[in-house]
Amino acid sequence: MKTAYTADQIRHAERTLMARLPEGTLMQRAAHGLAAACADLLGRVYGRRVVLLVGSGDNGGDALYAGERLARRGARVEAVLAGSKTHEAGLRAFLDAGGRVAEQAAVGEADLIVDGLVGIGVSGALREPYARLAEEANTAHGTVVAVDVPSGVDASTGQVAGAAVRARVTVTMGAYKTGLLVDPGAAHTGTVELVDIGLGPFLPDPDVAALTRADVEDLLPRPGNESDKYRRGVLGVAAGSDLYTGAAVLAVGGALRAGAGLVRYAGTHEPVQQVRAHWPEAVITPLDRPSIEHVGRVQAWLLGPGLGTGDWAHELAARVLASDVPVLIDADGLTLVARDRSLLRRRAPVLITPHAGELSRLIGVSRDDIEAARLEHVRRAAAELGVTVLLKGSTTVVAEEARPVRVNGTGTSWLATGGTGDVLSGVAGALLAQGLGCYDAASVGAYLHGLAGRLAARGAPLTSAGVATAVPEAIRSVHGEPRP
């Protein structure tokens, strides 16, 4: 599990560790790791041009000490002292090693630019001259390395209030910071390299977490010798309408491709015809009235994609949510719930999978505010609604009350196309039916869906059906199995 922490959590751990070590030890450890990462990026260090952007805080000290090490290896290192003060010991060491201080360093001519302007203790928009230097770094041709967190990115939330450095590599010290994993901040970090400075034993429970491939492999259900189609999970799907037939096809396809032992589909005439044609293995119940009494026993329900939002759909949603099994609610189902919150008053678990616009209707917050502060609002929604929330978007996040928010690290921007959310709901619904709780089903489902998106795209546009088709390959890759 990749775990990440807020700035306050990191600072508390640092204070605890520093009390046990000689003064300056942590900074030297950080500078050593930073210098090593910079040297790797430069390849040949001797004669290369390096510019340090040095702020007032400890990040500036890290940059100066790393610059000292690079200068001693023959790099031509200049430092722009942008803060109201400078780390004195770091500056002395830097100058003694042959580093130079420049009023106007040639950022545009540098092979490597080290962003040591601000660290984890700063939030809000960058002030001058930091904002100007951040923009100069972003337009320079040299490689940009951020120290701990790109300047302008809030380390605790990922929020970006104005100008911010866009790094190719972020060298972060001691532990991952929440803002490195969550957009919009995550889009500024590039590759994140972690330098171990000894904080591990002093870190609290994480603020957020991201599943690794090994975590997903451990959580994924696998059939055993005693398995049959019922033991492998039976998912009921109430989705699609005469107007939106494709949503039903995609949701059922996602569920079958993700390993559900049996999918029971219930819908009206047109989507029934389409599901039957595409997925003959699904057990189909045509509905002439909004009832699920003849569908048969299921272990979880998927409700909502393409269902419509009229009285008929509302009644069917009420029947599904009156059942005693977990229910995943997506798309039109979320619109129905936003209009009638009483539908969520149930004892069995609920997983909702909104995008920012749908969550906006559920909790009465603007879409823009949700996009700018995804962690804050996904946590609020989980607590206020009493459900597990998978918030889709450039960073998909999963929240359940009293647990760390999970951040999904897979995916591709090609997934921003119609119908991919229906596939995701089918994948996560299948995992619910196979026995995973809402928190794990959402997290594993997002991971597999994102990985399937990468496999389906491979750098080119994809279709939602193609994502569903790639789900088995994504599962095989998690298990380390070769393609057939």
115 is in an annotated binding site: yes
Residues near 195 by beta carbon (within 8 Å), at least 6 away in sequence? 29, 30, 32, 33, 34, 37, 171, 172, 173, 174
426 is in an annotated binding site: no
227 is in an annotated binding site: no
198 is in an annotated binding site: no
418 is in an annotated binding site: no
Which among 196, 198, 137, 199 is positioned nearest to 169, based on CA atoms? Answer: 137
24 is in an annotated binding site: no
395 is in an annotated binding site: yes
394 is in an annotated binding site: yes
Structure tokens at 372: 């700018």
260 is in an annotated binding site: no
466 is in an annotated binding site: no
Residue located via tokens 């005439």: 269
393 is in an annotated binding site: yes
Residue located via tokens 């490689």: 143
121 is in an annotated binding site: yes
151 is in an annotated binding site: yes
> In 3-state terms, the chain is what percent helix, strand and coil (to 5)?
45, 15, 40
374-385 and 356-363 helices, crossing angle to 10°: 50
147 is in an annotated binding site: no
125 is in an annotated binding site: yes
396 is in an annotated binding site: yes
56 is in an annotated binding site: no
58 is in an annotated binding site: yes
247 is in an annotated binding site: yes
Structure tokens at 91: 């500056």
Give me the phi and psi of 154, to 5 degrees please: -70, 120
Tell me the DSSP string of 173-208: ESSEEGGGTSTTGGGGT-EEEEE--S-GGG--S-SE
Check: CB of residue 398 under 8 Å from CB of residue 442. Answer: yes
Structure tokens at 34: 């930073």
62 is in an annotated binding site: yes
Task: Return binding residues for AMP.
Answer: 392-396, 421
| Positions at the binding site for (6S)-NADPHX | 58-62, 119-125, 130, 148, 247, 306, 355, 422
Annotated binding site: 58-62, 115, 119-125, 130, 148, 151, 247, 306, 355, 392-396, 421-422
| Residue list for the binding site for K(+) | 59, 115, 151
